[in-house]
Structures are given as structure tokens and as C-alpha cells.
Structure 1
Amino acid sequence: MKHITFYLDFVSPYAWLAFERLPQALEGLSYSVEYRPVLLGALLQQQGNPGPAGIAPKRDWTYRHVTWLGHALGVPLHMPARHPFKPLPLLRQALACSHDGSINRFTAGTLLRHVWQGGHDALDATRLEQLAQALAPQVQPGDDDGARAKALLRSNTDAAAARGVFGVPAFEVDGKLFWGLDGLPMLRAYLEGDAWFATGWDAAASVEKGIPG
């Protein structure tokens, strides 16, 4: 059985789509998944990447694209009332449900649906309180001031960056990183033992840079 680490930030619509599609994409295979919340903004900043929302025409395209993808894939996706937004309250709420930086699928799904279903404000105070109540049975004891959740988020994000994660959703298995919703077929091929990975994986990334940087 292969073990997959799924890096996600609830601010990402592609993370929501990939979360929903993962069971279908890997149907019939033997694997386990751990969900690791990370701060996407920190990963983007480290790479000098403004992200889709930082480029106005790309922002428009991204929102149209993900909404269409939800429609095409049969995954309910409604843009929240404001986006992008600062996801720290959601990430810390998620990691209040963890003792080691990983969260279960129920917790991840609850937070993603909070953002990506209904078209509401993800940071509305009343909705955040309702979210906290829904996750209360998952909350781990001993972190009344939230310090552990904050530390876990920093640790997760730093560890993800060290592993080469540059965006979300990202999936790590056997030290290999697969990025994005459209990386799911490639992930499946690897789990199925596609012979291409024996030579193609390293060879494809060994091309010499044509422009120094």
C-alpha cells in the first residue's frame, strides 16, 4: 500500500476539486492518505509567485475555470463572497483537530465545504462559530490558547517547502510530488506502476536552462 501526503490550503478552489475527485481518480488502488494543511501564501511568497489572484486577468480566468470545472465534474463549487481571503483562521481551526499536523478526511471536507459551497463569506464570524461547533468533536485537548495549532501550521508549511512543494493541491508519494488537480491521472499512473517513471521522471527534469536565473 502506498502512502500519499495531500498538502492543501482551504483558500484554493483546486484543492477542493482535487479533494472531491481523489477517490474516483484512484478508485481500485490500494493507498492511504494523510491531509496536511499548509499556508499557500507563504509557499508562493518563497517562490516569488503572486499566485493567480495576484494577476488580474489570470484571476478572472481562474474563477471562471474552477467554476466550470466544478460544473463539468459534477462537484458543487460556488465562489465565496470574497476571494482571495486570509485563510489563517481556517487553517488553525483545522490544526486544532490535530496533534501531529495531519487532519482526517472529515475535518478537511468540513472546512473545504465551508468555503466552496453556498457562495458565502468564508470568514463571516457567525459562520466561523458554526464551523467551530461542527468540528468540536474533532478538536484535540491541551491547546486552549491555539499555540499548538499555530506551531503545527508553521511546521507543516516549512516542511512542505523543504520537500519542494510550491503550490496546492500537491500530493507526495515515495518522495515524488504531483501538483494540481490535473496531476491526478499522473499520480494514478505512478501508483499503478507505469514503467515511464523508472527513467522519464528524472530525465524530463534534467533539461538544461536556456535562460539563466
Structure 2
Amino acid sequence: MKHIDFYLDFISPYAYLAFEHLPEALAGLSYSVAYKPVLLGAIVRHHGHKAPAEVPSKRQWTYRHILWLGHSLGVPIDMPATHPYNPLPHLRLAVAASQGGEINRYQAEQLFREVWRGGQDASDPARFDALKARLQPARDVADAAVKAELKGNTDAAIAQGAFGVPAFVVDGRLFWGFDSLPMLRAYLEGDAWFAGAQWAGADQRPSALAGG
């Protein structure tokens, strides 16, 4: 049985869609999953990128695209009243309710659906308090250890090559994005392609761009 580290941030609609679609995408396979909250903004900054919502035309496309994907897959999804928003309270709540920074599927579901279903304000304090009451975290969300575990998850994702979410790591191999789920399935099924030169050598060539 293969083990998947699933790095996620609740701010990401693609991570939400990947979470909801994962059981169907990997149906019939034997695997385990560790759901690990990370701070997407820190990963983006580490690589010197901009988040999709920081580029107006990309923001517009992203929102349309994720709503279409939800429609086409039969996954309920609504745009929050405001987006992007500050996901740190949700991320720290997740870690405070976790075991060593890994949350279970129920906890991930509660947090994702709080943001991506119903079209409400993810930053509303009353809704956050109600969510906290449902999850009943064992630790205070402001605890230094909680903050350290979230940073540890984020640093671990970066160390394994993550540059965004959703990111899936299996056997040290990184699969990125919602649209990588068919590729992830093929790897879990033992597709021989992954043992060949196309995986190992795809990037083994010089870049013709300055500084590449």
C-alpha cells in the first residue's frame, strides 16, 4: 500500500476540488493519505511567484475554471463572499485539532466546506467560532507549537519540491495540481513509464533563457 502526503491550504479551490474528487479519482486502489495543512502564501513567496489571485486576468479565469470543474464533476462549490482571504486562522485551527500536524479526512472536509460551500464570508468571526466548536481542537490555535507545526509542514512541502497546492508526494515523487490526479493514479497502479527516462530525465537539459 502506497502512502500519500497531501499538502493543502483551504484558500485554494483546486485543493478543495482535489480533496473532494480524490476518492473517485483513486477508486479501487489501496493507499493511505496524510492531510497536511500548509501556508500557500509562504510557498509562493519562497519561489518568488505571484498567487493566481494577484494577477487580475488569471484571477478571473481561475474562478471561472474552478466553478466549471465543480459543475462538470458534480462537486458542489460556491465562491466565498470574499476571496482571497487570510487562511491562517483556518490553518492554525486545523493544526490545533491535528495529531502532529496531520489532520484526518473529517477535519479537512469540515474546513474546506466551510470555505467553498454556501458562498459566505470565510473570515466571519461567528462562523469561525462555530467551526471551532465543531472541531473541538485539543490545543489553542494561538499556541506556539501549533504555529511551529504549520511552519514545519510548509517547510517540508518546499523541501520536497512543492511550489503550490494541492501537492501530493509519494515515494519522494511530487505530483502537483488537481489535474495531476490521473498521473498520480497511474503511478499508484505501477505504470512502468515512471521508471523510465521520461520521468527521470525530462528536465535534464540546459535552458536557453538568461539565468536558466
Q: Does the TM-score normalized on the shorter chain lie above 0.5?
A: yes
- Alignment correspondent of 1:25: 25
- Alignment correspondent of 1:84: 84
Task: After TM superposition, give the deviation of residue 145 of structure 1 in Å.
Answer: 4.6
- Alignment correspondent of 1:103: 103
1:21-65 Cα deviation digits (max 9, x unpaired):
100111111100000000000000111111110100110000000
Rounded Cα–Cα distance in structure 2 between residues aligned with 1:5 and 1:144:
23
SS at match of 1:177: strand
CA shift in 2, pair 1:13/1:209, >3 Å: same
Rounded Cα–Cα distance in structure 2 between residues aligned with 1:102 and 1:129:
21
Matches within 5 A, 1:1-213: 1-136=1-136, 139-141=137-139, 143=140, 145-199=142-196, 200-213=198-211
Rounded Cα–Cα distance in structure 1 between residues aligned with 2:11 and 2:141:
25
1:67-100 Cα deviation digits (max 9, x unpaired):
1111111001101000001100000000001231
Rounded Cα–Cα distance in structure 2 between residues aligned with 1:3 and 1:144:
28
Rounded Cα–Cα distance in structure 2 between residues aligned with 1:68 and 1:13:
12
Task: After TM superposition, give the deviation of residue 144 of structure 1 in Å.
Answer: 7.2
Rounded Cα–Cα distance in structure 2 between residues aligned with 1:145 and 1:158:
19
TM-score by length of 1: 0.96
RMSD: 1.1
Gap regions ≥5 residues in structure 1:
none
Rounded Cα–Cα distance in structure 2 between residues aligned with 1:22 and 1:212:
39
Task: After TM superposition, give the deviation of residue 159 of structure 1 in Å.
Answer: 1.3
CA contact (8 A) 1:5 1:173 kept: yes
CA shift in 2, pair 1:144/1:68, >3 Å: closer
TM-score by length of 2: 0.96
CA contact (8 A) 2:167 2:175 kept: yes
CA contact (8 A) 1:99 1:140 kept: no
SS at match of 2:135: helix
CA contact (8 A) 2:89 2:141 kept: no
Rounded Cα–Cα distance in structure 1 between residues aligned with 2:141 and 2:109:
23
SS at match of 2:201: helix
Rounded Cα–Cα distance in structure 1 between residues aligned with 2:127 and 2:138:
21
